[in-house]
A and B are shown apart, each in its own frame.
Chain A
């Protein structure tokens, strides 16, 4: 009997172990799928034309093709474009975080007539596609003399709109709705005004929401190529993604003349995402933790 029960126990443990092993292998597979494009990108970026077309070269090139990086560094106008991209993404992300927090708090915690109807407009603005608005915005910014400046990215962000601004308002509303009332009540009794309550008490509590919003906003601005390609025409004001598009179309035009050297466009793509990759290594932990804590889900 004793033997039997032990046998059963170990059978159970074995099953458990096998189950976990299968899950682990599945996770590894999925992780591989996610990493594959990045690895392919990095590896191709380092190959010269010969290596790219050599079937014996799969991942590791015979020698690192430095000229891919040198050429794309110049074609991207790297330092200038990097500075433009970084500064505008940073400013827009900060403005969006702050404005979305204010508006989200207003919708979550303060009662005013028409609040629920107005909130429907937030959701409404989420589903209006940018291509429906882009012509009129282009005309509007033209009249305001904002074209070729960064104001089309900054002003809407400061007013709670901008790139997926409605989503951020939604996130903050959900987050503030989940917080207990006691802290605010205590502060009001002590005589603090609503702005003071917001900045001194609620905003510090909203750190997870702020981190998520800031990072999303930053990343989406960094990667966006649709709006910049329309509002910015002067190469000095270009973002990295715009130079990348230019390189791509130039290469496509030249393709008939030369052999398809994809190494350079890969090197350029690599240079565009490199700052994001480096940033991600450092902020990854906060990113994951904050998303779990935003109560996005309510």
Chain B
């Protein structure tokens, strides 16, 4: 049988993605569906795992009504996201813009900014922060702290905490900085020249050329930041689910429900954010 060119191409295409089709079916959809089923059962280490007992929506009720830990942890995750994400995005854009300037040591600066990506084990950086406490602040030395205490008084620990948090947040922006640099590289220099010819200042050029052209990259970065903060090593929900599954309780049905709730929350946030951003995005290369 002879195939038409279109048919043959369709078959080849399916051949190329076939490994992924198997992968996503076995390692994503199968677990996801079974997870939904289990979330309505009482599955646990000591029950019959092949036929767990159906208990209706009891797990979901427990998550919101009985469990005193889950909802606060979820809210904390959301709060951290809304505080950290804008800081990470603004900071990484600023650093990317700075790193684009032709200056001595450009190579060195870039190497340093990508460092968190390479040893970006939040696990390791986080240990530093947990163990060292106030030792790892931007302000070293007793004198500086005494000096600040004069002005801040009681607020000094909070201020130090804030500085600590800055270092931590900045350390989580490595990938975003990288994506922004790649985005800046892809802006056509002719646009800047034209703007300059028309007398636009550097400030105007940033708002009228750089930012609109960066919007597609910005939405990638926003989504990445959201996902990253939801699956962070220190994410309370993540550790809580792991703990009740493999640590203290060995329950499977209940954490399945928690995982589903968590996923739905992420899904809604990502879709809303993406919609809002996409409606304002200008695609330079679109035909």
Give residues in A with beta carbon < 8 Å to B.
20, 23-24, 26-27, 30-31, 33-38, 40-41, 44, 55, 58, 99, 102-103, 105-107, 110-113, 115, 118, 121-122, 125-140, 156, 158-161, 165, 169, 194, 198, 216, 219, 222-223, 225-226, 230, 241, 244-245, 248, 260, 262, 265-266, 269, 272-273, 276-277, 279-280, 284-285, 287-288, 291-292, 294-298
Our pick among A55, A136, A273 for the contact of B38 (Cβ within 8 Å) is A136
| A-B residue pair count with CB separations less than 8 angstroms | 270
Q: A294–B183 Cα gap in the complex (Å)?
A: 10
Given contacts A113-B10, A156-B27, A287-B114, contact A135 B252 (CB under 8 A): yes
Our pick among B12, B26, B119, B260 for the contact of A159 (Cβ within 8 Å) is B26
Q: How would you classify the secondary structure of chain B's contact residues: helix, strand, loop or mixed?
A: helix
The reply to whether A273 and B260 form a contact with Cβ atoms under 8 Å apart is no
The reply to whether B16 and A297 form a contact with Cβ atoms under 8 Å apart is no
Q: A135–B257 Cα gap in the complex (Å)?
A: 11
Interchain residue pairs with CB less than 8 A apart (11): A35-B115, A36-B138, A112-B13, A128-B32, A138-B245, A139-B49, A156-B27, A160-B20, A219-B118, A284-B111, A292-B181
Binds A, one of B60-68, B82-90, B166-174, B192-200: B166-174
State the Cβ distance, A191 to closest chain B Cβ, in Å. Answer: 14
Specify which chain B residues have a CB less than 8 angstroms from the CB of A27 in the assembled complex. Answer: 98-99, 103, 105, 109
Q: A136–B255 Cα gap in the complex (Å)?
A: 11
Specify which chain B residues have a CB less than 8 angstroms from the CB of A121 in the assembled complex. Answer: 24
Q: A139–B238 Cα gap in the complex (Å)?
A: 18
Given contacts A136-B34, A262-B131, contact A159 B120 (CB under 8 A): no
Specify which chain B residues have a CB less than 8 angstroms from the CB of A140 in the assembled complex. Answer: 26, 30-31
The reply to whether B263 and A132 form a contact with Cβ atoms under 8 Å apart is yes
Known: A37-B125, A135-B38. 9 other contacts (CB 8 A): A30-B95, A41-B128, A122-B24, A128-B32, A133-B31, A159-B23, A159-B26, A223-B121, A297-B220
In the complex, B153 has a CB within 8 A of chain A: no
The reply to whether B141 and A58 form a contact with Cβ atoms under 8 Å apart is yes
Chain B contact patch, size range? 35 or more
State the Cβ distance, B267 to closest chain A Cβ, in Å. Answer: 6
State the Cβ distance, A263 to closest chain B Cβ, in Å. Answer: 10
Given contacts A99-B20, A132-B263, contact A30 B117 (CB under 8 A): no
Given contacts A159-B22, A223-B120, contact A110 B127 (CB under 8 A): no
State the Cβ distance, B283 to closest chain A Cβ, in Å. Answer: 9
Given contacts A273-B124, A291-B181, contact A31 B118 (CB under 8 A): no
Specify which chain B residues have a CB less than 8 angstroms from the CB of A107 in the assembled complex. Answer: 17
The reply to whether B28 and A161 form a contact with Cβ atoms under 8 Å apart is yes
Our pick among A118, A137, A295 for the contact of B17 (Cβ within 8 Å) is A118
Given contacts A30-B95, A297-B217, contact A40 B135 (CB under 8 A): yes
In the complex, B55 has a CB within 8 A of chain A: no
Q: A273–B167 Cα gap in the complex (Å)?
A: 19
Specify which chain A residues have a CB less than 8 angstroms from the CB of B124 in the assembled complex. Answer: 41, 223, 244, 269, 272-273
In the complex, B178 has a CB within 8 A of chain A: yes
The reply to whether B20 and A276 form a contact with Cβ atoms under 8 Å apart is no
The reply to whether B35 and A288 form a contact with Cβ atoms under 8 Å apart is no
The reply to whether A37 and B171 form a contact with Cβ atoms under 8 Å apart is yes
B 216-251 contacts with A by CB, 8 A: 216-217, 220, 223, 227, 230-231, 233, 237-238, 241-242, 245-246
Specify which chain A residues have a CB less than 8 angstroms from the CB of B110 in the assembled complex. Answer: 288
Given contacts A160-B20, A296-B182, A297-B216, contact A34 B171 (CB under 8 A): yes
The reply to whether A248 and B98 form a contact with Cβ atoms under 8 Å apart is no
The reply to whether A297 and B117 form a contact with Cβ atoms under 8 Å apart is no
Q: Write the chain A residue with the least CB distance to B166.
A: A33
The reply to whether B131 and A265 form a contact with Cβ atoms under 8 Å apart is yes
B 109-148 contacts with A by CB, 8 A: 109-125, 127-129, 131-132, 135-136, 138, 140-142
Q: Write the chain B residue with the least CB distance to A223.
A: B121
Q: Write the chain A residue with the least CB distance to B111.
A: A284
Q: List the 4 shortest-distance A-B pairs measured between CB atoms, nearest first.
A: A159-B23, A106-B16, A110-B13, A136-B31
Q: A225–B122 Cα gap in the complex (Å)?
A: 10
Q: How would you classify the secondary structure of chain A's contact residues: helix, strand, loop or mixed?
A: helix
B 145-173 contacts with A by CB, 8 A: 166-167, 170-171
Q: A99–B17 Cα gap in the complex (Å)?
A: 9
The reply to whether B245 and A135 form a contact with Cβ atoms under 8 Å apart is yes
Q: Which of B16, B30, B260 has the most CB of A within 10 A?
A: B16
Q: A165–B23 Cα gap in the complex (Å)?
A: 10
Q: Write the chain B residue with the least CB distance to A118.
A: B17
In the complex, B185 has a CB within 8 A of chain A: yes
Q: A225–B53 Cα gap in the complex (Å)?
A: 33
Specify which chain A residues have a CB less than 8 angstroms from the CB of B26 in the assembled complex. Answer: 140, 159
In the complex, B19 has a CB within 8 A of chain A: yes
Given contacts A127-B270, A156-B27, A160-B20, contact A219 B128 (CB under 8 A): no
Specify which chain A residues have a CB less than 8 angstroms from the CB of B246 in the assembled complex. Answer: 138, 230
Specify which chain A residues have a CB less than 8 angstroms from the CB of B71 in the assembled complex. Answer: none
The reply to whether A129 and B119 form a contact with Cβ atoms under 8 Å apart is no
Our pick among B11, B122, B136 for the contact of A36 (Cβ within 8 Å) is B136
The reply to whether B259 and A129 form a contact with Cβ atoms under 8 Å apart is yes
The reply to whether B118 and A34 form a contact with Cβ atoms under 8 Å apart is no
The reply to whether A111 and B128 form a contact with Cβ atoms under 8 Å apart is no
Q: A24–B101 Cα gap in the complex (Å)?
A: 9
Specify which chain B residues have a CB less than 8 angstroms from the CB of A285 in the assembled complex. Answer: 107
